[in-house]
Amino acid sequence: MTVMEQRGAYRPTPPPAWQPRTDPAPLLPDTEPYRVLGTKAADRADTELLRTLYARLVRGRRYNAQATALTKQGRLAVYPSSTGQEACEIAAALALQERDWLFPSYRDTLAVVSRGVDPVEALTLLRGDWHTGYDPYEHRVAPLSTPLATQLPHAVGLAHAARLKGDDVVALAMVGDGGTSEGDFHEALNFAAVWRAPVVFLVQNNGFAISVPLDKQTAAPSLAHKAVGYGMPGRLVDGNDAAAVHEVLSDAVRHARAGGGPTLVEAVTYRVEAHTNADDATRYRGDAEVETWRRHDPVELLERELTERGLLDEDGIRAAREDAETMAADLRARMNQDPELNPLDLFDHVYAEPTPQLREQRAQLSAELAAEAESETGSASGPQEGGHR
């Protein structure tokens, strides 16, 4: 008997023919993004919801404009505008119940504000006076996440923990098209599907990861297709159609709450402004493309639908704009106040109890501040002597 024949004897019997555990067909997204506005589906849309969405969209657009203006005045270090993407932000947040959680990325300020967070507190990260200005537990909004996709596993863990505790809480995790290339995106989707965690992943595909277009980001037919490999449904929706986003997200949230597990939703939208005020978008895309998308504007789409249905008139439009102006004026006024900062706060929340090393460093900064204050007082009382600094 040869060695190979001997070894053959130890070979286990071949496994039965491999069977996919789930029929992928119901998981696959449609080839065209789902739309409501301008289609027959709009007939059954909740008119009150459409009106609410419109008012919020107008406010969101104004918020983006105001925040962008504040960067030019030096009041914000940076602002990643979501102009053109307001429908995704607002309709998604409105699909959640109060007890649900939102896990935003850095561009999702409007979703954060839609959850009830104070517009000024939502901007502290970008103003630079503190990293997270709001209490995450007050409105169940996680801190805005700057690293890409790293907040997605947090959403999975929280949703999983809630289910273990018997709470029917759903987590909505937001990410951009670029973020889908990150390892954490994969790990989060995989964990969520294996644990059947009540999570909804919303990819806002706005065409570019800073300057890199989608065709250099992925070879997948769509980002929603990525869901199939994890064993969760993928849905494709027109991200500029607030009614469609709301419907698809609401379905996904309901599905998750009922124990059906996660869904991956890709909302196809467009970032009309540059990545941030530090970006030059003319280097990587032409005006014609931007103009095409401007004609598919989320605010105008909804305004047209409501107007054509007789649900909105000139007075209604004016009222929505005035409401947005009031919000912007308040935001402007409060953002133009200098925040009061205490440098010693730097040491307060590194640990529950500061280490001996931090106590020493706090004392050092405290002494430096005292010396600074003394020298300022000294120069104020005797400016002619000056030069203490």
Partner 1 sequence: MTTVAVKPATMAQALTRALRDAMAADPAVHVLGEDVGTLGGVFRITDGLAAEFGADRCTDTPLAEAGILGTAVGMAMYGLRPVVEMQFDAFAYPAFEQVVSHVTKMRNRTRGKLPLPLTIRIPYGGGIGGVEHHSDSSEAYYMATPGLHVVTPATVADAYGLLRASIASDDPVVFLEPKRLYWSKDTWNPEEPTSVEPMGRAVVRRSGRSATLITYGPSLAVCMEAAEAARAEGWDLEVVDLRSLVPFDDETVCASVRRTGRAVVVHESGSFGGPGGEIAARVTERCFHHLEAPVLRVAGFDIPYPPPMLERHHLPGVDRILDAVGRLQWEAES
Q: Which stretch binds partner 1 (CB under 8 A): 1-9, 50-58, 164-172, 261-269?
A: 164-172
Catalytic, 271? Answer yes
Examine residue 153 and tell whether it contacts partner 1 (CB under 8 A): yes
Helices (H) and strands (E) in the chain, counts: 14, 7
Residue 342: burial class (beta carbons within 10 Å; 0-12, 13-18, 19+): exposed
Q: Which stretch binds partner 1 (CB under 8 A): 156-164, 202-210, 243-251, 320-328?
A: 156-164
DSSP letter assigned to residue 79: -
Select the residue interacting with partner 1 from 4, 17, 164, 288 (CB under 8 A). 164
Select the residue interacting with partner 1 from 24, 128, 157, 229 (CB under 8 A). 157
Number of residues that bind partner 1 (CB under 8 A): 42
- Provide the minimum distance between the beta carbon of 74 and partner 1 in the complex, in angstroms, as a whole number: 23
Q: Is 204 helix (H, G, I), strand (E, B) or coil?
A: strand
What's the CA gap between 316 and 328, in Å, rounded?
18
Q: How are strands ordered across the β-sheet holding 101-103?
A: 101-103, 171-176, 199-205, 263-268, 234-238
Out of 257, 284, 285, 296, which one is annotated catalytic? 284
End-to-end Cα, the chain, rounded Å: 93
Select the residue interacting with partner 1 from 8, 22, 46, 161 (CB under 8 A). 161
- Provide the minimum distance between the beta carbon of 26 and partner 1 in the complex, in angstroms, as a whole number: 23
Out of 62, 115, 160, 275, which one is annotated catalytic? 275
Select the residue interacting with partner 1 from 64, 68, 83, 150 (CB under 8 A). 150
CA distances, 100 to each of 93, 96, 136, 175, 356 (Å): 10, 6, 12, 17, 39
- Provide the minimum distance between the beta carbon of 341 and partner 1 in the complex, in angstroms, as a whole number: 12
Catalytic, 275? Answer yes
Nearer to partner 1, 91 or 173 (CB): 173
Q: What is the DSSP string of 94-128?
A: HTS-TTSEEE-BTT-HHHHHHTT--TTGGGHHHHT
Catalytic, 137? Answer no
Nearer to partner 1, 13 or 342 (CB): 342
What's the CA gap between 93 and 106, in Å, rounded?
15
Residue 105, strand partner residues: 145
Q: Considering only residues 74 through 133, tell me which ones interact with partner 1, judged by CB under 8 A.
A: 130-132
Select the residue interacting with partner 1 from 24, 136, 229, 316 (CB under 8 A). 136
Nearer to partner 1, 10 or 137 (CB): 137
What's the CA gap between 299 and 89, in Å, rounded?
12
What's the CA gap between 138 and 146, in Å, rounded?
21
Q: Considering only residues 326 through 385, tell me which ones interact with partner 1, judged by CB under 8 A.
A: 345, 348-352, 355-357
- Provide the minimum distance between the beta carbon of 301 and partner 1 in the complex, in angstroms, as a whole number: 35
Q: Shortest CA distance to 236 belongs to which of 205, 208, 215? A: 205
Catalytic residues, by residue number, are: 271, 275, 284
Where along the sequence are the contacts to partner 1 (CB under 8 A)?
A: 130-132, 135-137, 142-143, 145, 147, 150-162, 164-165, 171, 183-184, 187-188, 190-191, 194, 345, 348-352, 355-357
